C-alpha cells in the first residue's frame, strides 16, 4: 500500500510541476486512450458479429444482380464502414490537440518566467527554473501523447479500412458468381 501512495504523490507532484495545462493534457490523453481501447475491443468482438449480420442480410436477398440489389449492397458496406470507423476521427482530433495543448503550456510557462524576470530581474534563478519546467513539461507530455496516439490511430484506421474492404469483397462474391 505505501507504493500506491508514493506513486500517487509522484503523479501529483509531476502534475503540479507542469502547471494547470498539464492536467488538461492528461485528461485529453486519457480520453484518447479510452477511445482507442474501445476500438480495439470493438474489432475483437462487435465487429465480427456485425460482419456476420451484414453477410446474412445480403445473402437472404432473393437476387443480387439488379440495380436495387447493388445499391443495397453499397448501403450495407457504407453502414459497416461508419460503424468500423466510429470514433477514429475523434481519436485523430485528440492526437492533433495534444501538441497544441503542449504549446499552450509552453506559452503559459514562459509567461511565468517573464513575469519573474520583470519583478525580480535575473537574480531569482529558482523562480525562473520553475517557470521553465512549467514550459517544457507540458510540451513533452503533449508530444508523448500525440506520438502514442498517432501509432494507435494509424493502426485502427488501417484495420477499419481492411475490414471494410474484406466485407465489400465478400458481398461482391455473389455478384461475380452470378454473372
Distance CA 50, CA 86 (A): 13
Domain count, the chain: 1
The pLDDT tens digits along the chain (179 residues) read 678 778 878 878 777 777 888 999 999 999 999 999 999 999 999 999 999 999 999 999 888 888 998 899 999 999 999 999 999 999 999 999 999 999 998 888 888 878 777 777 766 777 777 777 778 889 999 999 999 999 999 999 999 999 999 999 998 865 544 44
Question: Got the DSSP string for 35-93?
Answer: HHHHHHHHHHTHHHHHHHHHHHHHHTSS-SSSHHHHHHHHHHHHHHHHHHHTTHHHHHH
CA–CA distance from 162 to each of 36, 71, 76, 93 (Å)? 17, 21, 16, 22
At 1 the pLDDT is 66
pLDDT of residue 177: 47
Q: Quote the domain boundaries for residue 72.
A: 2-178
CB atoms within 10 A of CB 132: 16
- The whole-model pTM stands at 0.83
Amino acid at each position: 500500500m505505501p507504493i500506491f501512495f508514493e506513486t500517487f504523490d509522484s503523479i501529483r507532484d509531476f502534475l503540479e510541476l507542469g502547471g494547470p495545462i498539464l492536467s488538461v493534457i492528461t485528461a485529453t490523453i486519457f480520453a484518447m486512450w479510452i477511445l482507442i481501447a474501445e476500438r480495439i475491443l470493438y474489432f475483437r468482438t462487435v465487429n465480427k458479429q456485425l460482419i456476420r449480420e451484414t453477410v446474412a442480410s445480403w445473402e437472404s436477398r432473393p437476387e443480387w444482380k439488379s440495380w436495387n440489389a447493388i445499391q443495397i449492397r453499397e448501403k450495407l458496406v457504407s453502414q459497416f464502414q461508419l460503424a468500423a470507423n466510429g470514433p477514429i476521427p475523434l481519436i485523430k482530433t485528440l492526437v492533433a490537440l495534444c501538441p497544441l495543448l503542449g504549446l499552450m503550456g509552453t506559452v503559459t510557462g514562459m509567461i511565468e518566467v517573464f513575469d519573474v524576470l520583470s519583478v525580480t530581474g535575473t537574480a531569482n534563478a529558482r523562480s525562473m527554473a520553475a517557470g521553465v519546467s512549467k514550459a517544457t513539461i507540458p510540451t513533452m507530455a503533449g508530444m508523448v501523447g500525440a506520438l502514442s496516439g498517432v501509432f494507435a490511430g494509424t493502426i485502427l484506421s488501417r484495420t477499419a479500412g481492411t475490414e471494410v474492404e474484406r466485407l465489400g469483397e465478400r458481398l461482391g462474391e455473389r455478384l461475380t458468381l452470378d454473372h
